[in-house]
Amino acid sequence: MDKTENIEKKKDDLLAKMESYKNKRDRLNDKAGRWADKRDELNSKVKELIATAGEHRKKRGLLNEQVKNAKEKKKKLMAEEEQLSDTLGVLIKECLPEKGPYLSKLKNDLRALEFRQQTAVLTPKKEKALVGELSKIQKQIKEKEKMLEENKEVKEILTKLKQVRNELHIEKKKIAAFAHNAQKEHNEMNLLYSEADKLRKEADNAQKKFVENKILADKEHKEYVSSLEELKKIDKGFSGLKPGRVKFRVDSGLKQQAEEIYKKFKDGEKLSTEDLMILQKAGLL
């Protein structure tokens, strides 16, 4: 085998290696591209989840503020209720005779007797005595309540007390409702953040796979470029060996175009068949 044949064989081997490097590089770049797409898709979903979670967090904050306001109002109402109850107690003592049991005690006694009547098994005699006692207490209560109703100041306090207690009941219901809804928003927010963390880990893994494949693709590309440089050197040294070979001047426009294509090639971009022909014409391939 002469020197020309050896050189031709070496060129063929290099071209075969270049084809292998190119195919591996393209496959790895495609794979890296798919991982990059998956990473971007996952990061986009993470962004959406975080934004939605932020909305729930904002709603939770507003509801917690409402809970706080309702609790402050409840505290004021409870203080007002206590003050009115104390005032009412003083007025009742002033309005009712000092002799005899307090109205509160009569009402407690009445409830106790009514409970006994409903639950205990009594003889007719004891039943009659119990009914008589009930009637007596009911009469005492009515008398004392009538005395209170005739007192304008007591009546005003009772009206205010009833109003305050109604407002207090409403505020308690508000607190329970606001707190319940705030907890719902909190739970929903945590679920979304948890899902975002899960997807973020998947996106990080996709980024890792992208980098791994890109490094491998770049490695194959460097091998390709190295083989191409070697092939150019062989062609340069081989050009003077072929007998009767006619040297021609490369058009400056073609050379510039070829250099641009070659730069694209070195940057890892794919080349078309037409690009390869231009490189060959310009002596760069």
| pLDDT score of 253 more than 70 | no
Q: Are 222 and 6 in contact (CB under 8 A)?
A: no
Q: Cα separation of 220 and 26, whole Å?
A: 9
Q: What is the pLDDT of residues 40-67, one digit of tens each?
A: 999 999 999 999 999 999 999 999 999 9
Give the pLDDT confidence score for residue 244 in this predicted structure.
42
Q: Find the angle CA(27)-CA(32)-CA(36) to the nearest 5 degrees.
A: 150
Tell me the pLDDT of the chain averaged across its residues.
85
| pLDDT score of 248 more than 60 | no
Give the pLDDT confidence score for residue 246 in this predicted structure.
35
Give the pLDDT confidence score for residue 254 in this predicted structure.
64
| pLDDT score of 242 more than 80 | no
Name the more confident of 120 and 84: 84
What is the residue extent of each domain of the chain? 3-247
Q: Of 45-54, 177-186, 269-278, which range is least confident?
A: 269-278
Name the more confident of 230 and 166: 166
- Whether this prediction's pTM lies above 0.75 is answered by no
Please compute the mean of the pLDDT values over residues 257-275 and round it to a whole number. 72
| pLDDT score of 271 more than 90 | no
Q: Cα separation of 10 and 182, whole Å?
A: 76
| pLDDT score of 5 more than 80 | no
Give the pLDDT confidence score for residue 283 in this predicted structure.
63
Q: Of 122-131, 235-244, 264-273, which range is least confident?
A: 235-244
Give the pLDDT confidence score for residue 9 in this predicted structure.
82
Task: Assign 262 a pLDDT band (cuts: 50, 70, 90).
Answer: confident
Please compute the mean of the pLDDT values over residues 156-175 and round it to a whole number. 94
Give the pLDDT confidence score for residue 143 in this predicted structure.
74
Task: Assign 282 a pLDDT band (cuts: 50, 70, 90).
Answer: low
Give the pLDDT confidence score for residue 182 in this predicted structure.
97
Per-residue CA distances from 262 to 20, 89, 218, 270, 277 (Å): 19, 101, 16, 11, 12
Task: Tell which phi-psi region holds residue 83, choosing left (phi > 0), alpha (psi between -120 and 50) or beta.
Answer: alpha
| pLDDT score of 273 more than 60 | no
Q: What is the 3-state secondary structure (H, E, C) of the chain?
A: CCHHHHHHHHHHHHHHHHHHHHHHHHHHHHHHHHHHHHHHHHHHHHHHHHHHHHHHHHHHHHHHHHHHHHHHHHHHHHHHHHHHHHHHHHHHHHHCCCCCCCHHHHHHHHHHHHHHHHHCCCCHHHHHHHHHHHHHHHHHHHHHHHHHHCCHHHHHHHHHHHHHHHHHHHHHHHHHHHHHHHHHHHHHHHHHHHHHHHHHHHHHHHHHHHHHHHHHHHHHHHHHHHHHHHHHHHHHHHCCCCCCCCCCCCCHHHHHHHHHHHHHHHCCCCCCHHHHHHHHHCCCC
Looking at mean pLDDT, say which of 26-40, 119-133, 136-150, 269-283 comes out highest: 26-40
Task: Assign 105 a pLDDT band (cuts: 50, 70, 90).
Answer: confident
Please compute the mean of the pLDDT values over residues 173-181 and round it to a whole number. 97
